[in-house]
Chain A
Amino acid sequence: MSDALLEVKGLKIEATAYPPGEPPRDITIVEGVSFAVEKGKVLGLIGESGAGKSTIGLSAMAYGRGGVRITGGEVFVNGRDILKAGPAGLRALRGREVTYVAQSAAAAFNPAKKLMEQVIETTLHHGLMTRAEAEERAVSLFTQLGLPNPETIGNRYPHQVSGGQLQRVMTAMALCPKPDLVIFDEPTTALDVTTQIEVLAAIKRAIVETGVAALYITHDLAVVAQIADHILVLRGGHMVEYGTTDHIINAPSEAYTQALVSVRSITHKEKTGGTPVLSVKGITARYRGTKFDVLKDVTVDLPEAQTLAIVGESGSGKSTLARVITGLLPPSKGEITFAGRSLPADFEQRSRDDLREVQMIYQMADVAMNPRQTVGTIIGRPLEFYFGLRGEAKRKRIQELLDEIEMGEGFIDRYPAELSGGQKQRVCIARALAAKPRMIICDEVTSALDPLVADGILKLLLNLQKIENVAYLFITHDLATVRAIADSIAVMYQGRVVRYGSKTDVLSPPFDDYTDLLLSSVPEMELGWLERTIANRKMEAAGN
Chain B
Amino acid sequence: MRIPFAALIGLFFTGLYFFMAIFADFIAPYGMAEVVGNSWEPASWAHWLGTDTIGRDLLSRMIYGGQTTIFIATAATLLSFSLGSVLGFFAAVKGGLVDQVLSRGVDLMMSIPSLISALVVLSVMPVTLPVLILVMGILDSTRVFRLSRAVAVDINVMDYVEAARLRGEKQMWIIFREILPNALSPLVAEMGLRFIFAVLFISTLSFLGLGVQPPMADWGGIVKENKDGIAYGVMAGLIPAFAIASLAISVNLVADWVLTRTTSLKGGRG
Residues on A facing B (Cβ under 8 Å): 19-22, 326-328, 347, 350, 352, 355-356, 360, 362, 364, 367-374, 381-382, 385-386, 415-418, 431, 435
A contact residues around B104 at 8 Å (CB):
none
Question: Does B108 lie at the interface of the complex (its beta carbon under 8 Å from any beta carbon of A)?
Answer: no
B contact residues around A370 at 8 Å (CB):
160, 164, 177-178, 181-182
Taking a contact as CB atoms closer than 8 A, the residue among A20, A328, A374 that contacts B162 in the complex is A328
Q: How far is the CA of A406 from the CA of B178 in the complex (A)?
A: 27
Apart from A367-B158, A371-B265: 10 A-B pairs, beta carbons within 8 A: A328-B162, A347-B165, A352-B168, A356-B168, A364-B159, A369-B160, A370-B177, A385-B168, A415-B267, A416-B265
B contact residues around A364 at 8 Å (CB):
159
Q: How far is the CA of A311 from the CA of B190 in the complex (A)?
A: 47
Would you call B266 and A355 a contact (CB within 8 A)?
no
Which 10 pairs between the two chains have the least Cβ-Cβ distance? A372-B181, A417-B265, A368-B159, A370-B160, A355-B168, A371-B265, A367-B159, A362-B159, A367-B158, A417-B266
**A-B pairs with beta carbons under 8 Å apart, 19 shown:** A20-B261, A21-B4, A327-B166, A347-B166, A350-B168, A360-B166, A368-B159, A368-B160, A369-B160, A370-B160, A373-B177, A373-B181, A385-B167, A385-B168, A385-B169, A415-B266, A418-B266, A431-B163, A435-B167
Q: How far is the CA of A306 from the CA of B174 in the complex (A)?
A: 33
A343: shortest Cβ distance to chain B, in Å?
A: 13
Would you call A326 and B166 a contact (CB within 8 A)?
yes
Given contacts A20-B260, A21-B2, contact A371 B182 (CB under 8 A): yes
Q: How far is the CA of A22 from the CA of B3 in the complex (A)?
A: 10
Question: Does B124 lie at the interface of the complex (its beta carbon under 8 Å from any beta carbon of A)?
Answer: no
A362: shortest Cβ distance to chain B, in Å?
A: 5
Closest-by-CB residue of A relative to B165 is A347
Number of chain B residues whose Cβ lies closer than 8 Å to a Cβ of chain A: 27
Q: How far is the CA of A328 from the CA of B162 in the complex (A)?
A: 9
Question: Does B233 lie at the interface of the complex (its beta carbon under 8 Å from any beta carbon of A)?
Answer: no
Question: Does B270 lie at the interface of the complex (its beta carbon under 8 Å from any beta carbon of A)?
Answer: yes
Would you call B1 and A21 a contact (CB within 8 A)?
yes
Q: How far is the CA of A373 from the CA of B178 in the complex (A)?
A: 9
Q: How far is the CA of A352 from the CA of B167 in the complex (A)?
A: 8
Q: How far is the CA of A22 from the CA of B4 in the complex (A)?
A: 10
Question: Does B246 lie at the interface of the complex (its beta carbon under 8 Å from any beta carbon of A)?
Answer: no
Closest-by-CB residue of B relative to A363 is B159
Would you call A355 and B166 a contact (CB within 8 A)?
yes
A contact residues around B260 at 8 Å (CB):
20-21
Q: How far is the CA of A356 from the CA of B164 in the complex (A)?
A: 11
Closest-by-CB residue of A relative to B169 is A385
Q: How far is the CA of A371 from the CA of B267 in the complex (A)?
A: 9
Q: How far is the CA of A385 from the CA of B172 in the complex (A)?
A: 14
Would you call A355 and B167 a contact (CB within 8 A)?
yes
A contact residues around B100 at 8 Å (CB):
none
B contact residues around A327 at 8 Å (CB):
166
A contact residues around B169 at 8 Å (CB):
385
B264: shortest Cβ distance to chain A, in Å?
A: 6
Would you call A381 and B167 a contact (CB within 8 A)?
yes
A contact residues around B164 at 8 Å (CB):
370
Interface centre among B1, B177, B263 (most CB of A within 10 A): B177
A contact residues around B165 at 8 Å (CB):
347
Would you call A20 and B270 a contact (CB within 8 A)?
yes
Binary interface encoding of chain B residues 245-270 relative to chain A, with 1 for a CB under 8 A from any of its CBs, else 0: 00000000000000011011111011
Q: How far is the CA of A328 from the CA of B166 in the complex (A)?
A: 8
Q: How far is the CA of A415 from the CA of B181 in the complex (A)?
A: 13
B contact residues around A415 at 8 Å (CB):
265-267
Q: How far is the CA of A351 from the CA of B263 in the complex (A)?
A: 37
Would you call B267 and A362 a contact (CB within 8 A)?
no
Q: How far is the CA of A364 from the CA of B182 in the complex (A)?
A: 18
Q: How far is the CA of A417 from the CA of B265 in the complex (A)?
A: 6
Interface centre among B4, B164, B166 (most CB of A within 10 A): B166
Closest-by-CB residue of A relative to B155 is A370
Q: How far is the CA of A364 from the CA of B169 in the complex (A)?
A: 21
Q: How far is the CA of A253 from the CA of B24 in the complex (A)?
A: 79
